């Protein structure tokens, strides 16, 4: 017969020589495995490789005359020193209160910020707008990581008012005497 014998053809009897019936099915398991592996790879590399962006707003430095008048008991200054350490105080640089050397981390500077926040809330119980203001003063010996870390602490502790300010010579002295400059 001329036509291709695709059906089983088992019903016919006779001494015809038949080639052995071979299945047309291919085992696709390995192929599917490979395809899903590649899908996983491309999915993870496209979406997870996107870096995070932390927004930072700096004060406009053209209006230098405008000086912020904040009560000493709600302004906290954090000095970033060397060796991943910080120093913080409340009030003015000429008359620092609670001058403390501290480390980064949940039990150190973050706890201090939370404590001061509570204290300010106690001092101004009827005015929620008067909350803690933090001045971040990175010294020349601090690293970019310290800056990002302290900005991250602002996010974690939910401090709304903070600014990055240039460090004063008297504060550098203070860092030097604490051995972190």
Partner 1 sequence: MPRIKIGRKSTAIDMTAMCDVAFLLLTFFILTATARQVDPLPVDMPSSTTQAKLPDLDVGTISIGDGKVFMGISGQHVREAWLEKVGANFGQGFSAAEKKEFSLLESFGVPIQNMHEFLAADPKLRAQPGFQPGIPLDTVKNELFFWIIEARRATKEAGNDMRIAIKGDIKQEYPLVKEVIEILQKQKVNNFSLITALEAAPKK
Q: What is d(CA 27, CA 39) in angstroms, rounded to the nearest whole number?
A: 20
C-alpha dist (Å) from residue 43 to 29, 39, 47, 49, 116 = 21, 6, 6, 10, 44
- Please identify, using beta-carbon distances, which residue of 85 and 139 lies nearer to partner 1: 139
# of chain residues touching partner 1 (CB under 8 A): 47
Q: Is 68 in the site for partner 1 (CB under 8 A)?
A: no
174 touches partner 1 by CB under 8 A: no
Interaction of residue 57 with partner 1, rule CB under 8 A: yes
Q: What is the CA radius of gyration of the chain?
A: 35
Q: Does 149 bind partner 1 (CB under 8 A)?
A: yes
Q: How far apart are CA 114 and CA 154, in angstroms?
A: 10
Ranges within 110-139 binding partner 1 (CB under 8 A):
138-139
Cβ atoms 109, 159 nearer than 8 A: no
Q: How far is CA 145 from CA 51, 52, 138, in A?
A: 16, 15, 11
Does the protein bind partner 1 through residue 63 (CB under 8 A)?
no
User: How many whole angstroms separate alpha carbon 155 and alpha carbon 64?
Assistant: 27
**Contact status: 70 vs partner 1 (CB under 8 A):** no
* From 11, 19, 29, 107, residue interacting with partner 1 (rule: CB under 8 A): 29
The CA distance from 97 to 65, in Å, is 26
Figure out which of the listed residues 21, 32, 115, 160 binds partner 1, where binding follows CB under 8 A. Answer: 32
Question: Among residues 115, 152, 160, 165, which is the contact residue for partner 1, using CB under 8 A?
Answer: 152
Q: In the set 38, 68, 163, 165, which binds partner 1 (CB under 8 A)?
A: 38
Q: Which residues bind partner 1 (CB under 8 A)?
A: 25, 27-29, 31-32, 35-36, 38-39, 42-43, 45-46, 49-62, 80, 106, 138-149, 151-152, 155-156, 164
């Amino acid at each position: 017969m001329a036509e291709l014998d695709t059906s089983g053809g088992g019903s016919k009897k006779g001494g015809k020589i038949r080639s052995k019936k071979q299945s047309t099915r291919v085992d696709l398991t390995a192929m599917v495995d490979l395809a899903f592996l590649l899908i996983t790879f491309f999915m993870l590399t496209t979406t997870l490789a996107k870096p995070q962006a932390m927004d930072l707003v700096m004060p406009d430095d053209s209006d230098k005359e405008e000086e912020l008048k904040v009560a000493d008991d709600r302004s906290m200054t954090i000095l970033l020193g060397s060796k991943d350490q910080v120093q913080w105080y409340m009030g003015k640089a000429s008359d620092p209160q609670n001058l403390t050397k501290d480390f980064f981390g949940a039990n150190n500077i973050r706890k201090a910020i939370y404590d001061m926040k509570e204290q300010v809330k106690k001092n101004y119980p009827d005015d929620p707008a008067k909350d803690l203001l933090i001045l971040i003063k990175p010294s020349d010996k601090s690293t970019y990581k310290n800056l990002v870390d302290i900005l991250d602490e602002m996010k974690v502790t939910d401090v709304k008012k903070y600014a990055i300010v240039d460090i004063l010579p008297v504060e550098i002295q203070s860092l030097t005497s604490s051995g972190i400059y």
